[in-house]
Structure 1
Amino acid sequence: MKTYFPPKAIPSSIRVCDSNLDGTPQVNLLLKDYTDRMVSEPDPENHFMFYLTPADVLSNNPIKDPENFSPNPFPNRIWVLVENLSGCYTLPSTIDFIINSSVPIMKDTFLLEQCDEANDGKEILNLNQFENQIHNSKTANFSYYPTLADLNNNVNEIVSPTSYQYDNIVHPPVIFVKVEETGYCPALVKININLKNTPIFELPAYYFCPGVGIRIEPDLSYLLPKSYTWKNPAGEIISKDSYIDNIKTEGKYSLTITIDNGCEYTEYFDIIAYEVPVITQLLGTGANSYQIIANGSKKILYSMDGINWQASNIFENIPPGPVTFYVRFEDSKCLGIPKKGLSVKINNVITPNNDGYNDQWSFHNLDVFQDQPSNLKIYDRNGILIHEQSSTTRFIWNGQYNGRVLPTSSYWYIMTLPDKVLSGWILLKNRN
């Protein structure tokens, strides 16, 4: 026959944590590590009963679920009664609870502000960004939950906190973080979320007449812009004002505005040149007449001053000197790129007698053809070339050939200009 001696309960202590951060510690009183410290001689046949107060001991009112002990408020001390299989026991003893220290954190509340790019309440957030500011440790573990109830019940943990798909209609504006570190009780941190309004706007395509600068100044005052940044198609900043001016180049431009909350929005828009006729050729049909050759998809009008227009592309009896030709479509005010020509009047007499009058033959205004050279050839009656000159400015002939004064006679010229060829005679009169 086995003899049973009453087990002796002894004072003990248990370190506890609020593991699920619901405000109340949780403890399994029947863990062997704990029960072995509650008796002088541990025995697997011992039976443990726990009581909140000495009165509960006297009335035999034990704690109903010692494996999930989590009363609120949580007591500092409870009582334990240990008996063996034969029902023998001694006086109850005490169990003191020691609340373990929580993970030391530097700050328990953070504000995550991010611009709502579409102003739809949805953004992808990086919740991890505050970890070094919460508890700077390589061994700490951070768990994120959309609600405190989820954290308390260890459900719905956010599995991708670096790319959390937040929706302010579905999710509360607070994220709850459980911070765990070996040797400490977990700590609770809150991340408040604020999606900031983005200054979204739209710009149309803008059209301009080629060669005429356009000014663009959209009214965005309702967005209360703090700054403007305009960029050209090459991505270069061209203005920090509320407008851009004198834009003459087609392409895709952008405008970025920033408002006081730090959010910005960039709108891309096209600047397009209106279609205009293109002068492909000025055809000099005579010394004082031109035919304008131009291409375009609609009916073209022609002008020599940009004011008076005609449907015919032929101009005659043009006053001598430089002339500028203009084209436009009948239904548009936009002008095509103008082109310059030269109406010619030639002095046919040269008297190189050093009297200050007609001492040399000259022809000016060749610069209207810009860098295109013109050519002059002068022949005597026998067809001998006695003078040749190419120039982009003017022709000059002093009536000599290789430094020798030529006799009085008629001489023939061929003048080749970029838009026509002219020929005629020059009378050279000398004293001989």
Structure 2
Amino acid sequence: MMKCVKIILFYIFISCAVFDATAQSISVNDSFTAQQLVENILVNSSCANVSNSVVKGDPFSGIQNSNGYFNNQGGSFPFKEGVLLSTWSSQNSKGPFVRSLGGGNSSWQGDTDLEQALGITNTINATVLEFDFTALTDFISFNYIFASNEYQDDFPCNYSDGFAFLIKEINTASYINLAVLPGSSTPVSSKSIHPLINPIPNSTEPIKSCGPENEFYFGGFNTAASPINYAGQTKVLTAQTKVQPGKTYHIKLVIADQRNQYFDSAVFLEAGSFLPKIDLGPDRLLATNNPICFGKSFSIDTKLPASLGYTYKWFKDNVEFTNNSSSYTATSPGIYRVEVQLTSSCIATEEIKIEYTSEIILNDTSLSQCDIDNDGISIFNLTKVDAIVKNNASNLGAVVYYETLVDAQAKINPITNPATYSNKLVNQSVFARVSNSFNCANYAEVELIISNNAIAVLNPITTCDTDGTNDGLAQFDLNTQVTPQVIIGLPAGLIVEYYLNPTDALTQQNQLPTIFKNTIQNQQTIYSKILNGPDCYAITPIVIKVNTFDPPNFQEETFILCQASAINLTVNTGFSSYLWSTGASSNTITVTNPGDYTVTVTNFDGCEKIKKYHVITSGIATITDVTVNDFERNENSISIVYTGIGDYEFSIDGAFFQDNPIFDGIAPGEYLVYVRDKNGCGLSVPFLVYVLDYPRYFTPNNDGYNDIWQIKNLDNLPQSTLFIFDRYGKLLKQLIASDLGWNGTFNGFALPTDDYWFHLNLENGRIIKGHFSLKR
């Protein structure tokens, strides 16, 4: 056991040695009386009337006190000197920080006023400093730092010693605790101010870790370099409150452990910080978004009653000006300071910095609106003058309109429908309120004017129905077809918008597009709104009219032009003008060349209609050849070969014509072939052709019918030769084209019934072979 104690003492010694090498510990003197602590240390000024000072604490040690005077000895501790109140011997507060269980004693009692103020129980080891003071001003404060050994491990999640700065008017019962977080009623403690507490391994506490609480006010954990012997501390905090000058108050500063005497805490009070102060309020700065609005005055008030008889000196930018009052009304920026003679030997002083916003420059203006029923009441879009009112300033807020300046200044009864506002009176004004980012406002008047400028009635704006449907609907380019006629003779700079009805024109809703197709056939009335900037100059009706033009017989036509001829193209008479694609201007032209021709006719409304003509060349065909397929009985055919540019039909007898140049199933004989132009340009030169065939049998019995076997029309091929054979190939007869034929004999003898063969050598070199029957 002794060995362990020695080791602990050794490490304490080493820690102290390290601290001495790196930081300066505070010094503590615990021999000061209560009066000395209050009057000479905490107040240390003739400006505070204090009395009845009492200090209590540490009743068990006999020679050491839990209160005292401290000095930072030029070290890093934030306060140079002050009063120390702790829950163990104040001498133990000297640095460096050494982790230990602390001091105190279970017989050292707590404080019931502290418990009542904080709503806690079981306090022990209380140290109390009390005194009375008479307020000379309406505001007191003092600066302090809370330090504690509870800032270890996970203790801030579970425990906190209690302390309070209590004040009450003398001879009253209820205290107010001034040791709270700024702007709240939360007491300052290690539980209410700490950073993130990470989980502690093997911890036996109920809560092992917890998130940060008001970490901004946490000053930091202490080490062996700390000037005080506490695990952690807050930043410098201020306890402050309003009081009534001339009244006497009782102050009780108290700190105590809660539940046990270990892990002690202390409160360090800055020397000289408890003084009567003058509260002029916060600085009014642009940077903190609370400057004074341009043109406004600001009352700088010490809030000290005249009955106290104080004297005052006022300064602006360190230059004194005459004013012996408890308040001053500032009208310009500067640093203002007041010095108040509280007693013959006490002067309290305070200053405030005042900045002003820039002037909000607005424009009074007017807004004209047309009155379609001439009753002096119309619908105004107030927002159209927003930019004019704000002088095009982009850094200003929205424009809000009111019916009276009083309402605008009081910010009550705004116009809720500024885009569709109906004036209540003829020549009424409304008032615009515009604020900047500092909520400063200025005001502008907007005069509402009824405009009823007379506009001459326009002739109907006409156009022609040219979309091919002839339904009385057509597109109008309102900007080019209508606007120039609307604004002729009017002041320069006007613009024109178009609407279907006067109400839409008045409220500028449902504006028509520039390219507008009428929605009522043939004739429709629309409304133009003539604008001069945001002002309505006039609203006037515009009649738009669609002329239809659909003359008869204007379908496309096709004409045939025979070669080396001319035709006339004609359109109906009765139009105001004609223009052919050839440049001609009559209703008839003569053309000698094929192609497409058009004529544009114009009626007396100026509408046009175009008729198209297709002129196609045609002509007489030339037969270049005729292909004959013969000697095939029922399959004999004629195929006509031709040239030409026309549309043709064909004939082999000059009477019947067909579209096909091929004729099938042709009987043997002589044919005169024709090609005829269907378009009426005429017949070709006829072409003579023969179709040959042979009889399949003959009966040479001298009955005058079928007694001779011959090939019809062979005489038209005079260079042809015909040979007849029996079945054994014996030549029986040789004939030429001029011979009449074969009578069925050989050397004068009649041949018997049988089949016989022939060879026909045509003059064109073609050879035809076949056989036929001889029947007796």
Give the TM-score category using the shorter length: 0.3 to 0.5
For CA contacts below 8 A with separation 6 or more, give which structure has more relative contact order.
1
TM-score normalised over the length of structure 1: 0.44
